[in-house]
Structure formats: structure tokens, C-alpha cells
A and B are shown apart, each in its own frame.
Chain A
Amino acid sequence: MLEFIIGKYNFWIYIILMMIGFYAMISKNNLIKKIIGMNIFQTAIILFYVSIAYKRGGATLPILTDADAHAHGEHIINMAQYINPLPHVLMLTAIVVMVATLGVALAIAIMLYRKYHTLEEDEIIKALK
């Protein structure tokens, strides 16, 4: 059991982070806190993707120059030593999307603050009625 938790700790952290973010998005009344929750939620997904790319046993992302390639020709084809780079690349795109979402959300929060002079959701709803 302990092995199960410690051995896959990065996945546990991803789940815990995601739930913290989810909780903040659902239950917080302040819009900025909701946005922070949203950001934590999205960051948890980045952790998840980076975790699935990782390989045990000292795999890295080696930078190969031409000299290296000639000197250790056999290393290039040894896949166990390479972390899968594709999930990282996907996350670069996802980070851009997340930043854009954050920007739109903050812009709308500013819009709401200018109109109602508050960032508490219940006060805005009261002002709307």
C-alpha cells in the first residue's frame, strides 16, 4: 500500500492539486480566488502530462551535438535513456491555451469590478437584481 502511494507520488500530487483547484472553483465566492483555483486545476494537468513522459532509470533529455553522435553512436538508438518529449511539447501548447484563458478570465473580472465595484459573486448578483 505504502509502495503504491510513494512509488507513484507524482500522480497523487496531481490528483490532490486538481481537487484543490476544483474545490476553489466551485466553492469560493471571490472571483479572483475562482481564477486561482482554475489555474491550479490546469497546472495539475501539466504535472500529469510531464509525469507520463518520465522514465525510471536516469533517463534525460540529452542534447546531442554532431561530435556526440559520432562518438557514442549506440546511445542514439537507446530509447530507454530518453524521456518522451512529445507530452512536453503538447504542454507548451496547453500552457499557451491556459495563459489565454487566464487572460480572458482576468479581463472579465476587471470588467465586473469596474461595473459593480466588487469581486464577490453574491454582491454582484445582488447588484444585478
Chain B
Amino acid sequence: MIIEQAPVLIVIIPLMAALVTPLLGWIRKDICYPWVILALLVSVMSAATVLNTVIHEGVIHYHMGGWLPPWGIEYVIDHLNAMMLVLVSGTAFLVAIYSKRSIEQELPEQTVYFYTLFLLQVTGFLGIVITGDVFNLYVFLEIASLAGYALIAIGEEGAPLASFRYIILGTVGACFYLLGVGYLYIVTGSLNMADLSGILPELYGSKVVLVAFAFFMVGLALKMALFPLHVWLPDAYTKAPSVASALIAPLMTKVAIYVLLRLMFTIFRPYLSFELLPMAKILLIAGIVAIFAGAIMALAQVDFKRMLCYIIVAEVGYMVGGIGLANSVAIKGVVLHVMNDVVMTLGLFTVAGIISYKMRSHTLMDFKGLFKKMPLTMAAFVVVALSIIGVPPTCGFFSKWYLIQGSVLAGNWIFIVALLFSSLVNIVLFFRIIEIGYYSFDSPESHGHDHDGDSVISEAPVSMLVPTLLVAVIILLIGLYNQSIIANIIQYAVPKL
């Protein structure tokens, strides 16, 4: 009975918990933290159950309130979104554990409201991923975005302005998506994804469908921060509270990539995207430009979090360009990279959160002498950095490998050059930090006088350290078990091309 209701529990539990959080916080402030963890634990367990069911029994259809598909709202869970559900809820769970000390330091007054928004944000992400209805997706997209605007606005100096700009651009993105839904509704009279995918092929010649497709693409490009439309991202994620950026940065862009995959391969068939329209070429060029631009701008940053933001811009380029390669090997790489990128970005931003918890700022120079002070945090950081660069035992290598294989198959050499260039830039970026961490100390004099001062270990608090180390372990595990992940999940998520 409960197992049958698992798909809806994934979304409903965080939503209801978000509504209860302010009431609990009214009674006792410190209940909120365990309450959020409990809610997300239920959500993670339901997501894991659903993934397990999908692997063994195939696609799940859940009809909301018993209404049948073209009329009612349907949740459809196949391999792709089962994987995304586990990723989103798992990330949220780890960040929730991680949040306690950082929130106490950065937002001591607003803990209760922070957790409410936190849960709403997670609800939004989970809803986008699970739903099988295009309008429902819009509503969840806005729930996620609105919670995100508020979470970003309570950050450090300059955060409200960054958030305001994000609101303006994010609203344009969401409205374009909504217009796309409207145009599709004119010609099909349906909002259900499976229904649309059945009706649409006969209408591919229609201008209305093409307009809808164009609106969807631009709206999503805004939400996923594809290169020329990325301007809102660096400011927003740099200035957000560290817990908020650890939650939003790994998920928002990747969830938008998921929606892109859904649109191009489920709602519209690959036939429209790749054969009738030159989407492959457009996405490929956009991806390559994003990789180069992101990598070059990352080199110019002196702020650690800002550098990570530009790395995200480059990573979005990997995934969009990979879809543009339009063959199944590359798209396998894209789906694997979505998974890896969630975990890697989470690792980077949790480390950034620890740095700003300890140092009260997050510039590259804050890494001075950290290998001695925080050996465990830095060990986790090195694993994540190696994965972003793409060194074999870590997961980052394998998705890059599939992407390169895919571009060899497509005969596209510029994309390979872009991938290698960005890997080289990542080497420079991260080894510069590792060098600062190993060889720079506060100042040579204090090193002589106060010898103990530098070598005293002052690790991050346990509640922050454990999730960070766990992320590093997950990166290695995904790397080691990537073949079975692909065989059991990802190969079913890739469309036949």
C-alpha cells in the first residue's frame, strides 16, 4: 500500500513538511533541523524504492487522485527521472545534514524561514523531475525558482540585487516556457507528455509547433544558464548563503538539462529536433562556445565560489554540446554527466561552504595552509577536483570518455578540442588552489615565531565534514561502478537514435 504511493510521497512529504516547519519553529526553533532531515529522509527512501521498482519492473504510472491520463495529472517515472529523483532527494538530504552550523553562523535569526524555503525548493525540483504533465512542470518550475530567489536574496552583501536580476531573467524564462505550453495546447488540446508525444508527429509541419519548440528552447536555455544567457548565475550563486548555493548550484541547471532531454526526446521526437530542425548544430555550437567562455572566465576569477560558478557554465556546455552530438553514445555520456555533475558540484560547494564557515570569506587566498589545518576537508576537495579535471578512478573521467567517444563517432573534432581545453583549464584552476593550500602560509615571520599556530589541526565541524567526505566517497563509487549504473539505468534512459 505504502509502496504503491511512493511516487507521490517523494513530493508530498517535503511540501507538507515545509508548511509545518514555521509552526514547529514557532514552538521551538531547534526542532526544525531534525524535522527537515526526517522529511528528506522519507523522501530519499521513497525515491530509492521507486528507483528499485523501475529497475526491476519498468516504468511507473501514477495517476493523481485516480484521474486517468489525458485529463488528470499523471506522474510518469522511467529510468531517467528515477535516477534524477534519487540524485535530487539525496543531494537535498546531504545538504540538510550539512546546513546546521553554517546556517547558525550566517543566518542566526532566520533559521526557521530558511528551512521552510529549503524544503519548498526541494519540492520544486522533485516535482519538475517526477511530473508527466507540461503545465504541472511549469508550476513546479516556478515553485523551485521562487524559493530560489528568496534563498539567494538573504545572502551576503549584494545578494538582493543579484537575486533581483535573477527574478527578471528567470521570469522571462518561465514565461517563455508557459507560452510554449500554450502554443502546444492550441494545436493538440492536451497537456500530458505521453499524449502530446503521440499527437505531435503528424503536426511537425505546423508553424505553431515550431514556435512552441523555439519558446521552450529559449526559456530552458535561460533556466539552465547556457552561455550567452548565463549572466544571472555567477552573481546569484556567489552571493547566496553557502548552504543555499550548495543546494541550488548542483540542482537548478541539471534539472533544466533534464527538462531539455524530456522535451527533445519524449514530448518531441528526435526526428523533429535532429532531422527537421538543425537543433543538433545549434546546441553543439552553443555548447562549444559555453565551454570555452566558461573556462576562460573561470581563469580570471579570484573568488573561489565565483570560479566554481563559471565552471558550472562550462559544464552546462558539456551537456548541451553532448546532446548536440546527436548519437546514443554521446547522450549516454550526457546522462552520466548530469549525475556526475550533481555530485561534483555538490562537493565543490560544500567545500566552499566550509571555507567560508572557517574563514568568513571565500577567496582563493583563503586556502593558505589549509592542507595542514583541515586535512580531511582538503582530501575531499582533491578528490572532487580530480573528478572535475577527469582523472580515471573518479566519476568525471567516465562521462568525459563517453562524450569524447560520441564526438569521434559524430566526427566532430572541435568538441573534443573544447573538452580537452576545458580539462586543461581545470588542471590549472585546481592545481593553483592546491599549490596555495600546500605552499603558502600566512606569512613567513609568524611561521618562525609561532610554529604551532600553523600546524594546529582545526577541522570543520562534524556535521559539515561528514557530508563532504561522503560526497568524495560517492564520486569514487560512481567511478568504480559506472558500468553497472549504465547497464541498469542509463542505457534505458537514452533514446534510440
Contacts and interface: CB of A to CB of B under 8 A. Distances in A.
Given A100-B142, A128-B158, A25 B172 contact: yes
Given A25-B172, A42-B175, A111-B153, A52 B182 contact: yes
Contacts of B178: 45, 94
Contacts of B231: none
B160 A25 contact: no
A111 B142 CA distance: 22
A93 interface: yes
Contacts of B160: 108, 111-112, 115
A95 to B, nearest CB: 12
B149 A125 contact: no
A38 B168 contact: yes
A49 B182 contact: yes
Chain A: number of interface residues, binned into ranges? 20 to 34
B135 interface: yes
Contact of A34 (B135, B138, B158, B168): B168
A93 B186 contact: no
Contacts of B186: 52
Contacts of A80: none
B183 to A, nearest CB: 9
A41 B161 contact: no
B328 to A, nearest CB: 36
Contact of B150 (A34, A45, A49, A104): A104
Contacts of B146: 97, 100-101, 104
B164 interface: yes
A115 B175 CA distance: 30
A19 interface: no
Contacts of B164: 31, 34, 105, 108-109, 112
A83 to B, nearest CB: 14
Contacts of A25: 168, 172
Pairs of residues from A and B, 8 with the lowest C-beta to C-beta distance, nearest first: A97-B142, A111-B160, A112-B160, A108-B153, A108-B164, A105-B167, A128-B158, A108-B160
21 contacts: A31-B164, A34-B164, A38-B168, A41-B172, A45-B175, A48-B179, A49-B182, A52-B182, A52-B185, A90-B135, A94-B138, A97-B142, A100-B146, A101-B171, A104-B167, A105-B167, A108-B164, A108-B167, A112-B161, A121-B161, A128-B158
Given A38-B167, A97-B138, A104-B150, 13 more contacts: A25-B168, A31-B164, A42-B175, A45-B182, A49-B182, A93-B135, A97-B142, A100-B142, A100-B146, A108-B149, A108-B167, A109-B164, A111-B153
Interface of B: 135, 138-139, 142, 146, 149-150, 153, 157-158, 160-161, 163-164, 167-168, 171-172, 175, 178-179, 182, 185-186
